[in-house]
A = this chain, B = another copy of it.
Amino acid sequence: MNSNEIAQLLNETAGTLSETKDISKLYHRHRYTDSLPSGQVISEIVDLCRAVIFPGYYGKSTLNAQTMLYTIGVNVERIFDLLTQQVKASLNFCNEEKQDCSGLEDVSSLAMEKASRLVSQLPAIRLDLASDVEAAYLGDPAAESYGEVISCYPVIKALTNYRIAHELYKLGVPLLPRILTEMAHSETGIDIHPGAEIGRHFMIDHGTGVVIGATCIIGNNVKLYQGVTLGARSFPLDDNGNPIKHIPRHPILEDNVIVYSNATILGRVTIGKGAVIGGNIWVTYDVPAGARISQRKHTTEK
């Protein structure tokens, strides 16, 4: 294969790939100078949030109360700047995608307002995460210190992303919340949809394979183990055969529920207060408060 043949092949391939009529759903038309949401910048936002929420554990060390104020002040301002930029990119992306948000003309000031609201929620988010750290420390005999939990436990990373994403979701920011939780999904194997509502003092041990769907409602003091699915069982279709969006279809877990590893709970069922769901089972019905359900005995051959 000589150079000319290679060049011809590259040119033909580039030409074919530039024809967009057959792949209109794979091709995103930007308005000029709009930028895409950036994974790298969103990742920096996450790092900065961790640094202001867990000072001394993430980011740089601090000297004393006054210099800590400097560091937190700089980080909060930078969170605001980067978030404004990414919220704006997400709003533009969504508008161009849907072409139906005709009222959203002043995207810049809208982005600034949503970013400022998120920033003002950071102290409250921190209090929720403090309760989660405590839950992990008290709930795992292997945890040697709060510092180990904050520094190492995947659940804390996943919940930090989720709790920020959930606030952005409630503020009506498109796309960005999902990017945030998928980042944590890739890092920890814990997949929490930003639409889920999760109470305080929440714990997921180990975490790989956990799925928490978009309309889940989870109370306080709930504990999940790895591989637990809180999913949808089925979903109604519209007249075109497409799934109808935004219908409650995931489980409700009341306070103090425990779900052991690899259990699957599907559909808009309610797991009552204090119930315990054993591992490796498939639950598609309501479970009363205080109940304990577990897998049938196994076949043993010797």
Residues of A in contact with B (beta carbons under 8 Å apart): 1, 3-4, 6-7, 9-18, 20, 22-23, 25-30, 32-37, 52-57, 61-74, 76-77, 80-81, 84, 93-94, 97-98, 109, 112-113, 116, 119-120, 122-123, 126-127, 129-130, 133-134, 138-142, 144-148, 150-154, 174-175, 178-179, 182, 185-189, 191, 193, 195, 206, 208-209, 211, 213-214, 225-227, 229, 231-232, 235, 241-247, 249, 260-264, 266, 278-283, 287-288, 290-302
Contact = CB atoms under 8 A, between A and B. Distances in A.
B279 A295 contact: no
Nearest to A153: B182
B61 A35 contact: yes
Contacts of A123: 13, 16-17
Nearest to A181: B152
A141 to B, nearest CB: 4
A68 B9 CA distance: 15
Contacts of A261: 211, 229, 231, 264
Given A7-B67, A74-B71, A298 B294 contact: yes
Copies in the complex: 6
B13 A26 contact: no
B262 A283 contact: no
A58 to B, nearest CB: 8
Given A94-B145, A227-B229, A69 B300 contact: no
A126 B17 contact: yes
Given A293-B300, A293-B301, 19 more contacts: A4-B64, A6-B63, A7-B64, A7-B66, A14-B69, A14-B72, A17-B52, A17-B122, A17-B123, A18-B72, A138-B242, A142-B214, A148-B175, A185-B208, A189-B209, A206-B211, A262-B264, A283-B298, A287-B300
Contacts of A129: 26
A145 B97 contact: yes
Contact of A260 (B12, B26, B72, B264): B264
A8 to B, nearest CB: 9
A54 B27 CA distance: 6
B288 A278 contact: no
A63 B7 contact: yes
A116 B1 contact: yes
Contact of A264 (B11, B22, B133, B279): B279
A112 B33 CA distance: 11
A174 B152 CA distance: 12
Nearest to A129: B26
A62 B31 CA distance: 9
13 contacts: A18-B72, A26-B55, A29-B62, A69-B73, A141-B247, A148-B174, A151-B175, A209-B226, A211-B261, A280-B281, A281-B282, A294-B301, A296-B298
